[in-house]
Chain A
Amino acid sequence: MLFRTTRHPVKRRRLIISLAILAILLAGTALPIGSLPPLQKLLNPETGIWAPSSPVNNLELGQQSTTIVLNGTSARVDLNIDQNGFVRIASNETWAMYFEQGYMTAKLRLTQMDFTRRLAEGNLSAIVGSSALSSDEFYRTLEMYPVATEVINNLSKSSAAYIAVSSFTAGVNSYMSSISSPSLPLLFKLLDYTPTQWKMEDTYVVQQLLTWQLSSSFDPLFFNYALEKMPENVITSLYPAYPSSVQFPMVPYSLNPAIYSESGNLKNLTLYSPTILSLNLSSFQTAALVTAPRSNNSEANSIISQLWSQLNSVRTTFHSIDDKGSNNWAVSSNLTGGGAILANDPHLSITVPPIWLGFQLVGPGENVIGVSFPGTPGIVLGHNPYIAWAATDSNVQATYFYFETLNPANSNEYMHNGQWTKFSILNESIPVAGSTPTSISVKRAINGAMIPGWNNTIALDWTGLYPSDELSALLSLDVAQNVSAAQNALTNFKVGIQNWAVADNKGNIGIFTYGYYPIIEKGNPRGVLPGNGSFDWVGSIPLSEQPHQYDPPNGFVFSANQIQVSPNYPYYIGWNFESGYRAAEIFTVLNSTYKPNVSQMEQLQLSNHDYSSNIFLKPLLSALERSNYSSIPETDTLAAWNGNMDLNSTAASIYYFWLNSYINDTFVPYLEHYNITVTEGLYGTTFFAASNAINQGPLVEDLANWTVNFPTIQWFNNPVNGEKRNATTLMVQGFHEALQELSALKGNYSQTSWQWGNIHTRYDPNLFGLPALDGPALPAPGDDNTPNAAYGINSTIGPSWRQITDMSRPLNSSFGIYPGGLSENYISPYYSNTVEDWNNGVYYTLIPSGLPPEFYYLYPGGSSSP
């Protein structure tokens, strides 16, 4: 018999089709999907998203011991982790203590550390793509990495800072080596990358980023804009160089006249007119500007509005830190009758994971507890057995702007001291995920870094552009044994000037606003200065004349971002300070409390009293009395109000909305009249006015002054239509609008639905901008002006760390809390576990009883060695 072969055509078609689909499926799941990694990788049950990320399954609370070996030397480390957000480390070797701090920081916050350094070094685009390119370009101009390298090169290898940073770095890398790729935190898997080894420079870069975020301001650009658009008499009245309203200076003339004794630079400056006349801001068209979206308003293409949108892009790429204000104070033993007491609550971004990580570090001659920034060794704010210290942002001007005249024949040269001078140029390549690297030239003039994308005409001079070693100052604070030693340590703190309050166990107190204060000899530093060499920085205010107090006779020191000095201080240090209401509240309470104790200090720190109500409420009620609103329940509620922004207060809601309306009704017409429009990107900043501007900026201070002292001053009149207005008419108008707003928001007036707690919340957004991983939103008391600050209606900024320490009993009577938790891992039980306690005003005992004796080292009853 003969045979032939045959194939079934239908089945062959099925084979081909199924083979094709299988091939497509395999290939498709092997390719990235947008910014996500391939599904084969992402959904891999063993190595992908299903693999538990560290440290959720290996974070053990309680006591542990381990032996660390580094460069052939070994040391024992005792570790104790508590659910209140503190990691306690004790070792008889200092290097091992910092090594373990690095190890634990990486274990708990690796993503945060990596994102922070990437942001500072201009390396975010490498993982998130071109959306972060403008951020990267901007941060590369600040040259934080080269500055960090220079700082490290200047360190002695036997210095405390070198030992701390190098050991910390080794600890971070030890942790990174110990985990497998499947155990990497969520974002590494989502963005499909593995973090590179930590370097010493990264620690300094993280610290530089923090000082940048705390000290930088673009106000001079905005202000130059105002100077050009508004007549000098308007500038003088609306934007005085010294706050026009109530302020309690941190170091008034009466308490330290010595710092006022020398003649300074203030009288040589012109603070009300532009140094650069007719600086046509809209003429600075650049490539970036041309490609940016334009509105019909030609003014919208101005350099300022473009810069503002660029800054917004920088700010929203990664939450990092927003700084609104802070409180600190110290009360001496003379006033308390016991020990000195210190209190601190820095108002920074409230995020999950939090910007802080709590540590107790015990090493030879050292036992310090407090909070640190993930990425840096040591403790930033806290106490040891001898001193407690606290910081608030000084709001001292640290950024100055210069207009550089370019050589028409060579754009790499600018005019300085009559000569064409070459920019120093650093060519950089920015890696971009999913795209080719972008090359940029970072230009540096004598007057600072040239802002990218602006035709290289505006230089930004920031004190942090030059090497300085704040970390050494902080590490010295960790081991300081009295206020004088702390004062000495702080002389090395140059950039990101803080108001440092200190209290020691001998009952002494002090406050020191030390740092590098640039001096220029003429011109208007409030605006943009010419970069021609005549307006350069010529030095810093001498240390002895910088604001400070040591054991003042009134028995307390305090700061809340108000101006540090009285009007007769002879140097220019800035002008855009906070309105001073928190400072006034703190001063009033401290000045009137007999023998203040820890409990009273807690009450003050948690106080929801808005001091601005002391100023505005009486005139408002008086105005309402003479209006159609004299006998309505809303007015009655307000009349019975005590000024507290409490959860159950209806008057608090009315007052808050009223004050916003009053500010805006008064000043927005000026912005309209002088063509400072919303599309300019300026209206909406607290500098000019904002939907929520009750806490800071000069305008609210003007308003307080005029309302009380000059209720019919011409500046109440509407400049747009010439309408005659005064404080009374505007207050009534604001009241009407407030009631309308609240009605639209919560329905008709009701004692329950209009309660502040039904309107005002705190919530903790995810640090990496992933809304699904946000912390809880909670009804919250307080507002922008209360010591227990909660800025805005949906507040994401507030007391990021609360500390009260009685230095006569620092072991038993020191309390603190930060909102969030230890871990950055969303599914960890320690991701946001302290938020509710924090919102409810709970404090944790910082060094609780029952710990192993090494954690009480240097305290009475502790072990004799770490």
Chain B
Amino acid sequence: MRLTSDLYFLLLVDLAACFLLSYFGVWYLAFIPSVLIGSLLKSRWLHLISFGFSGAIGAILPIFISDATARLDSGAVLAAVLGLPGGFVGPLILTAMVAFFISGLAAVVASSFRDTSPEPVAIKPKQKV
């Protein structure tokens, strides 16, 4: 199964939208772009996983674009306080996972809804015997 260029474009849109949502402090709304874009897709698992990743990357990007060191240090402090190993990696993975599931599941929902939309099926007329 291969990703088409259209899909790449949609993933990029999703990533950008999730980045903006995260940048403005409402990262948990990442499901909105995924729902909108997911409704255009057929529910193939690879696509849906891809949207999870694009949402996750978009959501955590703001951590790296300004004061990255201080932000990662803050994550490391949280990890230390909560007793998580691995410094900032743990909280970062946790943050990305939350975004991944929100975005990916929203895409699943939207595409599944599209797939289950009523489709016209031809009814054969009864044949007269």
In the complex, are the beta carbons of A52 and B70 less than 8 A apart?
Answer: yes
Residue from the list A3, A15, A53 in contact with B74, Cβ < 8 A: A53
> Per-position contact with A for B52-91: 1 when CB-CB < 8 Å, else 0?
0000000111110001001101111110110100000001
In the complex, are the beta carbons of B120 and A45 less than 8 A apart?
Answer: no
Residue from the list A15, A53, A186 in contact with B109, Cβ < 8 A: A15
In the complex, A538 has a CB within 8 A of chain B: no
In the complex, are the beta carbons of A827 and B73 less than 8 A apart?
Answer: yes
Complex Cα distance, B71 from A471, in Å, reads 40
> Per-position contact with B for A757-789: 1 when CB-CB < 8 Å, else 0?
000000000000010110000000000000000
Residue from the list B31, B77, B95, B115 in contact with A827, Cβ < 8 A: B77
In the complex, are the beta carbons of A7 and B116 less than 8 A apart?
Answer: yes
Q: In the complex, what residues of A have CB within 8 A of residue B120's CB?
A: 3-5
Q: In the complex, what residues of A have CB within 8 A of residue B117's CB?
A: 7
Closest beta carbon of chain A to B108's beta carbon, Å: 4
In the complex, are the beta carbons of B27 and A826 less than 8 A apart?
Answer: no
In the complex, B17 has a CB within 8 A of chain A: no
Complex Cα distance, B22 from A46, in Å, reads 7
Residue from the list A7, A39, A773 in contact with B80, Cβ < 8 A: A773
Q: In the complex, what residues of A have CB within 8 A of residue B106's CB?
A: 22
In the complex, are the beta carbons of A770 and B81 less than 8 A apart?
Answer: yes
Q: In the complex, what residues of A have CB within 8 A of residue B27's CB?
A: 40, 44-46
Instruction: Specify the chain A residue showing the minimal Cβ separation from B61.
Output: A45
In the complex, A410 has a CB within 8 A of chain B: no
Q: In the complex, what residues of B have CB within 8 A of residue A772's CB?
A: 77, 80-81, 83
Complex Cα distance, B109 from A45, in Å, reads 25
Given contacts A22-B102, A29-B28, A773-B81, contact A56 B118 (CB under 8 A): no
Complex Cα distance, B69 from A57, in Å, reads 10
Complex Cα distance, B25 from A50, in Å, reads 11
Complex Cα distance, B78 from A39, in Å, reads 12
Complex Cα distance, B78 from A772, in Å, reads 9
Complex Cα distance, B123 from A26, in Å, reads 42
Instruction: Specify the chain B residue showing the minimal Cβ separation from A21.
Output: B105
Instruction: Specify the chain B residue showing the minimal Cβ separation from A52.
Output: B70
Given contacts A4-B121, A43-B94, contact A18 B80 (CB under 8 A): no
* Chain B residues numbered 12-28 whose CB sits less than 8 Å from any CB in chain A: 22-25, 27-28
Given contacts A11-B116, A186-B77, A190-B81, contact A43 B91 (CB under 8 A): yes
Total number of B residues with any Cβ neighbor in A under 8 Å: 47
In the complex, are the beta carbons of A57 and B70 less than 8 A apart?
Answer: yes
* Chain A residues numbered 49-95 whose CB sits less than 8 Å from any CB in chain B: 49-53, 56-57
In the complex, are the beta carbons of B31 and A5 less than 8 A apart?
Answer: no
> Per-position contact with B for A578-606: 1 when CB-CB < 8 Å, else 0?
00000000000000000000000000000
> Per-position contact with B for A269-296: 1 when CB-CB < 8 Å, else 0?
0000000000000000000000000000
In the complex, are the beta carbons of A25 and B116 less than 8 A apart?
Answer: no
Instruction: Specify the chain A residue showing the minimal Cβ separation from B28.
Output: A40
Instruction: Specify the chain A residue showing the minimal Cβ separation from B67.
Output: A52
Given contacts A6-B118, A44-B27, contact A49 B91 (CB under 8 A): yes
In the complex, B119 has a CB within 8 A of chain A: yes
Given contacts A14-B112, A51-B71, A827-B70, contact A45 B63 (CB under 8 A): yes
Q: In the complex, what residues of B have CB within 8 A of residue A56's CB?
A: 70, 73
> Per-position contact with A for B29-64: 1 when CB-CB < 8 Å, else 0?
001000000000001000000000000000111110
In the complex, are the beta carbons of A57 and B116 less than 8 A apart?
Answer: no
In the complex, A640 has a CB within 8 A of chain B: no
Instruction: Specify the chain A residue showing the minimal Cβ separation from B125.
Output: A2
* Chain A residues numbered 1-40 whose CB sits less than 8 Å from any CB in chain B: 1-8, 11-12, 14-15, 18-19, 21-22, 25-26, 29-30, 39-40
Q: In the complex, what residues of A have CB within 8 A of residue B122's CB?
A: 1-3
In the complex, are the beta carbons of B113 and A5 less than 8 A apart?
Answer: no
Closest beta carbon of chain B to A19's beta carbon, Å: 5
In the complex, are the beta carbons of A827 and B74 less than 8 A apart?
Answer: yes
Complex Cα distance, B61 from A701, in Å, reads 65
In the complex, are the beta carbons of A39 and B98 less than 8 A apart?
Answer: yes
In the complex, are the beta carbons of B119 and A5 less than 8 A apart?
Answer: yes
In the complex, are the beta carbons of A15 and B113 less than 8 A apart?
Answer: yes
In the complex, A47 has a CB within 8 A of chain B: yes
Q: In the complex, what residues of B have CB within 8 A of residue A3's CB?
A: 120-123
Max count, chain B CB within 10 A of own CB: residue among A46, A186, A772: A46
Residue from the list A5, A15, A29, A826 in contact with B118, Cβ < 8 A: A5
Closest beta carbon of chain A to B31's beta carbon, Å: 7
In the complex, are the beta carbons of A22 and B31 less than 8 A apart?
Answer: yes
Complex Cα distance, B117 from A25, in Å, reads 25
Residue from the list A18, A30, A45 in contact with B108, Cβ < 8 A: A18
In the complex, are the beta carbons of A18 and B91 less than 8 A apart?
Answer: no
A-B contact pairs, 15 of them (CB 8 A): A1-B122, A4-B120, A4-B121, A11-B112, A15-B113, A15-B116, A22-B105, A39-B98, A45-B22, A47-B25, A50-B62, A56-B73, A186-B81, A190-B78, A773-B81
Chain B interface residues toward A at CB < 8 A: 22-25, 27-28, 31, 43, 59-63, 67, 70-71, 73-78, 80-81, 83, 91, 94-95, 98, 101-102, 105-106, 108-109, 112-113, 115-123, 125
Q: A25-B98, A29-B98, A51-B71 are in contact. List 4 more A-B contacts (CB 8 A).
A: A12-B112, A15-B116, A22-B108, A186-B81
Closest 6 CB pairs of A and B: A5-B118, A772-B80, A15-B112, A52-B70, A827-B73, A18-B108
